[in-house]
Every structure is written in structure tokens, then in C-alpha cells.
């Protein structure tokens, strides 16, 4: 009887110690936040591209007087993704200043913890691709 009681106590202690580690390992709920205000129509383009790339799980666009607000739901990140992920590409014929838009989205994602770092890669005929980690 004593060995059964001792085994139960040891099992309960191990479960108590390991339970917080298991809870930390499981991904938490998504965070939802404003990624920024962009030109009319651009928030939807960026939101759809981020959804396709898997960087966020959902997005919404709210139109206002100064442009469209992009609201996204994403898992908050404190460590970089395993590899760079392409979020979207902005071309000169789609937006007045694609480099500025790329930097704005990239910096907002870092501030919101949607990703840890970003870079804007320039392409041919002034286009900018947002890559995140």
C-alpha cells in the first residue's frame, strides 16, 4: 500500500511540474490589432496577401476618411519565423510610393509583434516585396 501511495505522490508532483511547461508550449490565442491606415483599396490587398502567406489568420478592413484601416489577427511572435516569408509585393503602378508602404507595413508588424523583423526587397520596375521573420 505504501508503494502505491508513494507512486501516486510522485506522479502528482511530476504532473504539477510539467503542466506549466505544456501550457507554455501550446500556442496562445491570436492577437488582434490595427496594422495601420493605408490608401483606399490597399488595406484589402495587404490583408489578403498576409492571409495567403499565413502570417495572420484573419483580417478586416474599416474604411474611413483618410483611407482604409487594416485590422489583423495573428499569433504574437517573440522569436523569428524559421525562414523568411513573403507577405506581399507593392508595385509602382499600384501605389504612389511602394517603398514607403513596404516600410510602413513592416515596421507596424514589428511594433504589433506580428513578426520579429522585416526587410523590403526592391525588384525590377520599382516594386518592393515585404519579407518577414
Structure confidence at residue 22 (pLDDT): 39
Return the bridge partners of 72, or none. Answer: 33, 59
Ranges assigned E (strand) in 14-108: 31-38, 58-63, 68-74, 85-91
Tell me the pLDDT tens digit for each residue of 89-123: 998 898 989 999 999 999 999 999 999 999 999 98
Compute the distance between CA of residue 60 and CA of residue 63 in angstroms, rounded to an integer: 10
Tell me the pLDDT tens digit for each residue of 14-44: 444 444 443 334 456 789 999 999 999 999 9
> What is the sign, positive or negative, of the torsion defined by CA atoms of 26, 29, 34, 36?
positive
Read off φ and ψ for residue 119, nearest 5 degrees.
Answer: -150, 150
116, burial (CB in 10 Å: exposed 0-12, middle 13-18, buried 19+): middle
Q: Kindly list the strands in the beta sheet with 68-74, ordered across the sheet, starting from the edge strand earlier in the chain.
A: 31-38, 68-74, 58-63
Domain boundaries, the chain: 31-132
Compute the distance between CA of residue 53 and CA of residue 11 in angstroms, rounded to an integer: 43
Amino acid at each position: 500500500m505504501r508503494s502505491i501511495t508513494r507512486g501516486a505522490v510522485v506522479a502528482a508532483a511530476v504532473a504539477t511540474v510539467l503542466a506549466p511547461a505544456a501550457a507554455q508550449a501550446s500556442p496562445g490565442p491570436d492577437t488582434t490589432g490595427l496594422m495601420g491606415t493605408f490608401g483606399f483599396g490597399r488595406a484589402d490587398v495587404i490583408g489578403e496577401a498576409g492571409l495567403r502567406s499565413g502570417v495572420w489568420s484573419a483580417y478586416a478592413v474599416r474604411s474611413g476618411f483618410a483611407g482604409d484601416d487594416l485590422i489583423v489577427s495573428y499569433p504574437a511572435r517573440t522569436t523569428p519565423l524559421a525562414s523568411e516569408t513573403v507577405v506581399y509585393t507593392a508595385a509602382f503602378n499600384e501605389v504612389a510610393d511602394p517603398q514607403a508602404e513596404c516600410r510602413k507595413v513592416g515596421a507596424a508588424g514589428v511594433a504589433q509583434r506580428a513578426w520579429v523583423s522585416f526587410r523590403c526587397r526592391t525588384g525590377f520596375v520599382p516594386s518592393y516585396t515585404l519579407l518577414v521573420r
